[in-house]
Chains A and B, each alone.
Chain A
Amino acid sequence: MIEGISIYEILTITSILFFIGVYGFITRTNLISILISVELILNASVVNFVIINKYLFPEVLQGVYFSIFIIAVAAAETALAVSIIISLYRQISSVDVKEIETMKY
């Protein structure tokens, strides 16, 4: 619980964070930037879980431990995505989405 800040402000910020992530996922052309956008989405839900637990249901810690698991899984996801990006970079020397369109329609 933070003095002077209600749950509405924080939930507004996480919603904005979520939609920045979705916008970045759609418009960015660099694979690494797309990955960062996905991380923003995941972090928005992490903050959401912690805040909802803290403000609305403080007696059980379900939301907090959920968020720890999300952070761990997101790290695994990022590691795998970066390794695939590196394997792609070895072949085409680029991380641009415009280069990975050999398969279409």
Chain B
Amino acid sequence: MNFSNFLLMRQEIALLAIILLLLIAEIFIPKNKKESIIHLALFLFGIHTIIGFFNIDENSLFGGMFRTNNLIHFFKNILNLGVFILLLQSADWIKEKILNQNKGSEFFILLFSSLLGIYFMISAGDFLMFYLGLELSTLPVAALAAYETAKRISSESGIKLILSSALASGVSLFGISMLYATSGSIYFDELLLTLSSNHLSLLGMVLLFAGISFKISLVPFHFWTADVYEGAPISIASYLSVISKGAAVFILMILLFTVLQPLADLWEKMIYFIAIATMFIGNLFALRQQNMKRFLAFSSIAQAGFILLGLIADSQLGTATVVYFVLIYIFSNLAAFGVVQAISLQSGKERIKDYEGLYRTNPNLSLVLMLALFSLAGIPPVAGFFGKFFLFTAAASEGYYFLVFLAVVNVTISLYYYLLVVRAMFLRKGENPIPFFRNKIYMRIGLVITVIGILLLGIYSPLYDYIYELSSVFN
């Protein structure tokens, strides 16, 4: 037994240590100084994020149950960065709304547990580890969605999330049992060798795909999304739409490109139609939303439809474009949710109508929101354009020209509703606009990081080359 092998799990062990430290800190910090737990959690997680960027070996542990390589490691770092920005943005909310109910540290512990589950899910080497990671990443988030126990809609969103995700995991388990029946193994490496295209394995693949689609909220499995996002606290809605969705896309991509590669004929057709349905339904429902959180929920459904375009391409190009798009999507969506959270915290307003005249009172915030929405829509100078452009290139390189055409139509539709918000902020004079306020330091840092990301990621091209180089592992 060589303990240096455990260095492969460095990220997981470090995060587990942070969780335990916070548990101990919760016991020993006196009741009137609970505020320091926010600073402690931010400090520890910041160090964890920085240390994560150091290199790690490529290998597998526990007989192949846990594996890691440079792409998985890179993706974990992206998720770390996203969670760190999210914590910066929600620090003020925790301080003002949660600490006085004396449940500040539980928030961090649950959030980090969910991130730990995501780590295990994306570096899983067999279906058991995948399932355990999936559950560990979902259950704490359901508890967090019902976190504001005084609010009725928060409990409602919690119950909707836990029931739909339980159904989803049950369905995917039934699919996994069928894949197990056809090949006799739950390890990805052995499945890859023995899996062949027959009726049972096809049915298993469809059920597994349906289960993961719940997490990514693809049409027709998207019904929980808008309700949960509206009812849950904003930081949890942003976690669900950014971190959890990004990780689920990543594991779906790994499964499709490695284990389920023998069934590629079927899943390419499935993704083709699901992508079209997801883009159209997400965009058309976003048109009629009045609440900012529901609006961002449907916009994130539509973005998931765009991501599917990368999955349909061949593996190296597809992997690179999907990872690159998720990276940009994390920054743009976190910026949008951050502004919504800042405004909701100060004034309690969440409707698009309330944003009228925001530019006159809070020019900086409205500029950040405008950049974020432009990046989500894909307007050239900002990063979102390059992400979408590469996705479309990837799909076109396989000859799916009609799909790319429909995607471009959808970009136009989405531009309309993103610009509705921009118009409300810049051109309308509201009757009682949100008064001027200054954000606290953490929120300001969080927003500045996202803005830098949105502006630089698209222009800094070595990043894409680096991701493309890493993506060769799944061939």
Asked if residues B184 and A45 are in contact (CB atoms below 8 Å), the reply is no
**A20 contacts the other chain (CB 8 A):** no
Q: Which residue of A lies closest to B177 (CB)?
A: A48
State the CA gap A42–B142 with chains docked (Å). Answer: 19
Asked if residues B146 and A103 are in contact (CB atoms below 8 Å), the reply is no
Asked if residues A77 and B162 are in contact (CB atoms below 8 Å), the reply is yes
State the CA gap A45–B285 with chains docked (Å). Answer: 35
Asked if residues B143 and A66 are in contact (CB atoms below 8 Å), the reply is no
**A62 contacts the other chain (CB 8 A):** yes
State the CA gap A70–B153 with chains docked (Å). Answer: 30
Asked if residues B162 and A100 are in contact (CB atoms below 8 Å), the reply is no
Asked if residues A41 and B163 are in contact (CB atoms below 8 Å), the reply is no
Query: In the complex, which residues 164-218 of chain B have their Cβ closer than 8 Å to any Cβ of chain A?
Result: 166-167, 169-171, 173-174, 176-178, 180-181, 184-186
Asked if residues B170 and A87 are in contact (CB atoms below 8 Å), the reply is no
Q: Which residue of A lies closest to B149 (CB)?
A: A87
State which of B128, B157, B226 has its C-beta within 8 Å of the C-beta of A69.
Answer: B128
Which among B131-139, B233-241, B421-429 touches the partner chain?
Answer: B131-139
Give per-residue flags for A32-66: 1 if the beta carbon is below 8 A from chain B beta carbons, else 0: 00110010011011001100100011001011011
Given A31-B159, A85-B159, A102-B153, are A56 and B135 neighbors across the interface (CB < 8 Å)? Answer: no
Asked if residues A41 and B230 are in contact (CB atoms below 8 Å), the reply is no
Asked if residues B156 and A103 are in contact (CB atoms below 8 Å), the reply is yes
Main secondary structure of the interface of B (DSSP, over half): helix
Asked if residues B159 and A77 are in contact (CB atoms below 8 Å), the reply is no
Asked if residues B180 and A81 are in contact (CB atoms below 8 Å), the reply is no
**A13 contacts the other chain (CB 8 A):** no
Asked if residues A80 and B177 are in contact (CB atoms below 8 Å), the reply is no
State the CA gap A87–B186 with chains docked (Å). Answer: 38
**A16 contacts the other chain (CB 8 A):** no
Asked if residues B155 and A87 are in contact (CB atoms below 8 Å), the reply is yes
Asked if residues B162 and A70 are in contact (CB atoms below 8 Å), the reply is no
Asked if residues A18 and B174 are in contact (CB atoms below 8 Å), the reply is yes
Query: In the complex, which residues 54-105 of chain A have their Cβ closer than 8 Å to any Cβ of chain B?
Result: 56-57, 60, 62-63, 65-66, 69-70, 73, 76-77, 80-81, 84-85, 87-88, 91-92, 100, 102-105
State the CA gap A80–B140 with chains docked (Å). Answer: 9
Asked if residues B131 and A84 are in contact (CB atoms below 8 Å), the reply is no
B135 to chain A, nearest CB (A): 5
The interface residues of chain B lying within 8 Å CB-to-CB of A52 are 177, 180-181
Given A77-B139, A80-B143, A84-B142, are A41 and B170 neighbors across the interface (CB < 8 Å)? Answer: yes
B132 to chain A, nearest CB (A): 6
State the CA gap A91–B146 with chains docked (Å). Answer: 13
Asked if residues B180 and A62 are in contact (CB atoms below 8 Å), the reply is yes
State the CA gap A6–B153 with chains docked (Å). Answer: 49
B113 to chain A, nearest CB (A): 12
Asked if residues A81 and B186 are in contact (CB atoms below 8 Å), the reply is no
For chain B, the count of residues having a C-beta within 8 Å of the partner chain is 41
Asked if residues B152 and A34 are in contact (CB atoms below 8 Å), the reply is no
Residues of A in contact with B, size category: 35 or more
State the CA gap A41–B153 with chains docked (Å). Answer: 27
The interface residues of chain B lying within 8 Å CB-to-CB of A35 are 163, 166
Asked if residues A103 and B155 are in contact (CB atoms below 8 Å), the reply is no
Given A63-B180, A102-B153, are A42 and B185 neighbors across the interface (CB < 8 Å)? Answer: no
Asked if residues B163 and A34 are in contact (CB atoms below 8 Å), the reply is yes
Asked if residues A80 and B162 are in contact (CB atoms below 8 Å), the reply is yes
Q: Which residue of B lies closest to A43 (CB)?
A: B170
Asked if residues B166 and A81 are in contact (CB atoms below 8 Å), the reply is yes
Asked if residues A103 and B230 are in contact (CB atoms below 8 Å), the reply is yes
State the CA gap A63–B183 with chains docked (Å). Answer: 12
State the CA gap A70–B226 with chains docked (Å). Answer: 29
The interface residues of chain B lying within 8 Å CB-to-CB of A66 are 127-128, 131, 180, 186
State the CA gap A71–B50 with chains docked (Å). Answer: 38
**B246 contacts the other chain (CB 8 A):** no
Asked if residues B156 and A88 are in contact (CB atoms below 8 Å), the reply is yes
**B378 contacts the other chain (CB 8 A):** no
The interface residues of chain A lying within 8 Å CB-to-CB of B153 are 102-103
The interface residues of chain A lying within 8 Å CB-to-CB of B156 are 88, 100, 102-103
Asked if residues B158 and A77 are in contact (CB atoms below 8 Å), the reply is no
State the CA gap A35–B166 with chains docked (Å). Answer: 9
Q: Which residue of A lies closest to B155 (CB)?
A: A88
Q: Which residue of A lies closest to B154 (CB)?
A: A87
State which of A34, A42, A80, A102 has its C-beta within 8 Å of the C-beta of B173.
Answer: A42
Interface centre among A31, A76, A80 (most CB of B within 10 A): A80
Asked if residues A84 and B146 are in contact (CB atoms below 8 Å), the reply is yes
State the CA gap A81–B288 with chains docked (Å). Answer: 32
Measured CB to CB, the residues of B under 8 A from A are 127-128, 131-132, 135, 139, 142-143, 146, 149, 152-153, 155-160, 162-163, 166-167, 169-171, 173-174, 176-178, 180-181, 184-186, 226-227, 230-231, 285, 288
Q: 11 interchain pairs (CB within 8 A)?
A: A41-B171, A42-B166, A44-B170, A62-B180, A62-B186, A66-B131, A84-B142, A84-B146, A85-B159, A87-B149, A88-B152
6 more contacts with CB within 8 A, not counting A35-B166, A76-B135, are: A38-B163, A41-B174, A60-B184, A81-B166, A103-B156, A105-B285
